Amino acid sequence: MKDKVPYAAPLAIGLLLLAAVLVLLPSGLLFDFGWNRDRNRGGAGDTDPWGKGPRLEENQEAASLVSGDPSDSLLAALLAQLASKNAPDNEAILTFKDEAALKDFLARANAAGLKVLDTLGNSVRVGFDDLNALRGDMRDHYGDYAGAGGNYDVYIPEVPQEERQQQSEVGFGEGALAFMGIKGNFTSYGKGVTIAVLDSGVTKHSTFTGARLKYIDVGQGLTGTADADGHATAVAALAAGAAPGSIGVAPSADILSIRVTGQDGTSDMFTLAKGIQAAADAGAKVINISLGAYQSSSVLTRAIDYAYERGAVIVAAAGNDQAGQLTWPAADSRVISVGGVDALGQQLTFSNSGDQLQATAPGLELQTAWPGNQTTSFDGTSGSSPLMAGAIAAVLSQYPQLSAQQAAQLLTTYSADAGAPGRDSSFGWGTVDVGYALNANNPSYLDPSISSQHFDAERGVMEFVVQNRSGAAVDGLILGLNAVGIQSQVGVPALAPGERWRHIVHIDPSRLLTEGELTYTSRLINPNGLTDQNPGNNRKGSVVFKPSETPAR
């Protein structure tokens, strides 16, 4: 998705303008406006932009249409979406008001010059050689339609090579689970829970032990053969792998593989929606989608509705474009959107941000499975998402009385605060911490931590956030600081379970300009007698760069 450009806002404005113009234009100009776009795939001159058939203004039936026909709004909506480079210009998704209207359309589609490619509920994916055929059906049967739109492409996220800020990042290797507070015997995590993986098709691998791996074919086959098709295997193992070198968060969970990508490695809104509905129908309580697009569709929205109403939770990758908005379906408010962090707890430079972001999870150099019974190092929010999906399955297996949505809420509520204190657009509610979520009410579980060192450039201060991720109150903590070579210790007040406390250090702007960068480290010192369940989160370090550079988070 590196080269994909967000189109949602301009398309909405364009749709309104186009609808207004369609009403005002004479019939002879109506189709000139809709077709004279730089979309010519088949040549120039007298051919139409699809390169097939006569120009629309030469079609007598089209030219005889009356301006202001009520079906013009349907055409306007469709044309606005087909204008996107990410929507094929020779197919559409049509939605009908009820089953009877759909049945009538299916009976007449072939004779009308429309090819039915697939159906889902009251929606149809159709192909056409001449938009006149579809325009004519909209006009003649306008009362049957509920909507029309393009079938946007959906992509596996790419990982950009450039950085948006100066930052030294540290990968995880096999350390992601420990970072997420998972230790000891967790082999039962995920037992009895099905995680659906909507991706490129999971290949058989020793990490998917027993008969845990199952398949559903929604029209794309089961697995692919290209190198990129290994994406699904890597994703599924992060959620539920069980072999050494590729152990996932929920090693006892069942995996339902639904291939939604084609031979070119991309998917589309209709196929993705079909995969979501199939997963929900099969009883999957957790649905992972490590794909995305910067446009949405009503068919995707209805599929999310369908899954949500049946008790499933959808987890999706935020995207790897360094963008200030999330890709769909992660951008949907009901979806658990997941960004990426490195082993220092920093937001990864490529991870998308946005107000809708729910959580973050490890996303750099993750050790996981690869086709051919191999392992690989995996980067991106594509890996962060299944770690959260596995975490939800783990919680469900330990607390079966919870719904999938409640399990997800438990993980976001009891997460490691990161970045600015509280929820923010870079980390959501925080970084997933399975140990904390499962032990939030366990008084014997003690885990005081340094959640973040956050540089607030606007105020010129460094914030050190201490969070008590314990099931009981903790007193007697000391925060040790090394602020640009100046060492100090600060007493931390007694913290109730889940409580946060922050200490602020002002940055010397003249020294920052002179030296170019300033280094800060912190260490949390526990009182004698406290057994810390996760001492690895008691240290932090970060660098602040001068204003001419992009400042560190």
Q: Please report, for residues 101, 471, 539, 546, the alpha-carbon distance to residue 450 in angstroms, rounded to integers and kept in the order given.
A: 59, 16, 6, 25
Give percent of the chain above pLDDT 90: 72
| Same-domain status, 454 and 500 | yes
**Residue 5: is its pLDDT beyond 50?**
no
Mean of the per-residue pLDDT values of the chain: 86
Beta strands in 281-327 (DSSP E): 286-289, 313-317
Give the model's pLDDT for residue 165: 54
Of 151, 171, 198, the residue that ends a domain is 151
pLDDT for 228: 77
User: Cα angle at 422 between 419 and 425, to 5 degrees?
Assistant: 60
Q: Are residues 103 and 194 in the same domain?
A: no
- Helix (H) or strand (E) segment spanning residue 146: strand 145-149
Q: What DSSP character marks residue 110?
A: T
Does 553 fall in a domain? no
Quick: pLDDT tens for 505-538. 999 888 888 888 899 999 999 999 899 999 989 9
Tokens of 217: 């074919």
Chain centroid to Cα 221, Å, comes to 24
Please give the residue range of the domain that contains residue 533. 444-545
CA distance 27 to 33: 10
> Is residue 287 situated within a structural domain?
yes
Locate tokens 């379906």: which residue?
Answer: 329
Evaluate whether residue 176 is within a structural domain.
no
pLDDT at 17 over 50: no
Q: Is residue 160 part of a domain?
A: no
Q: Tell me the one-letter amino acid at 418.
A: A
Same domain, 295 and 412: yes
Query: Does the pLDDT at position 24 exceed 80?
Result: no
Pair (410, 317) in one structural domain:
yes
Asked if the structure places residue 551 within a domain, the reply is no
User: Do 237 and 101 belong together in one domain?
Assistant: no
Residue 410's CATH number: 3.40.50.200
Of the candidate ranges 242-256, 296-310, 513-527, the one whose mean pLDDT is the lowest: 513-527
Query: Is 156 inside a domain boundary?
Result: no
Backbone angles phi, psi at 520, to 5 degrees: -130, 135
Residues 433 and 448 in one domain: no
Whether residue 130 lies inside any domain: the answer is yes
The reply to whether 284 and 423 lie within a common domain is yes
Residue 397's alpha-carbon distances to 161, 307, 400, 449, 526, in angstroms, are 38, 20, 6, 27, 32
Look at residue 375 and give its three-state secondary structure: strand
Which of 383, 406, 437 is the C-terminal boundary of a domain?
Answer: 437
- Statement: residue 393 has pLDDT above 90: yes
Amino acid at 89: D
pLDDT bin (cut points 50, 70, 90) of residue 161 is: low
% of the chain at pLDDT higher than 70? 85
Higher pLDDT, 248 or 228: 248
Q: How many domains does the chain have?
A: 3
Residue that terminates a domain, selected from 437, 452, 481: 437
Q: Are residues 433 and 468 in the same domain?
A: no
Residues that are catalytic: 199, 231, 382
Give the SS3 label for residue 428: strand
Domain-located, residue 163:
no
Question: Strands (DSSP E) along 230-345, which ranges?
Answer: 242-243, 246-247, 254-259, 267-268, 286-289, 313-317, 336-341
Rounded mean pLDDT, 477-485: 94
Our CA angle for 145, 151, 152, nearest 5°, is 140
Residue 158 CA, distance from chain mean position: 13
Highest-confidence range of 2-6, 24-28, 51-55, 450-454, by mean pLDDT? 450-454
If one counts every other C-beta atom within 10 angstroms of the C-beta of residue 71, the result is: 19
Q: Pick 341 or 4 by higher pLDDT.
A: 341
Same domain, 421 and 341: yes
195, 201, 202, 203 alpha-carbon torsion, rounded to 10°:
160
79 and 42 housed in the same domain? yes
**What predicted TM-score, i.e. pTM, was given to this entire model?**
0.85
Mark whether 430 and 460 lie in a shared domain: no
**What secondary structure letter does DSSP report for 537?**
G
Based on the domain organization, do 46 and 142 belong to the same domain? yes
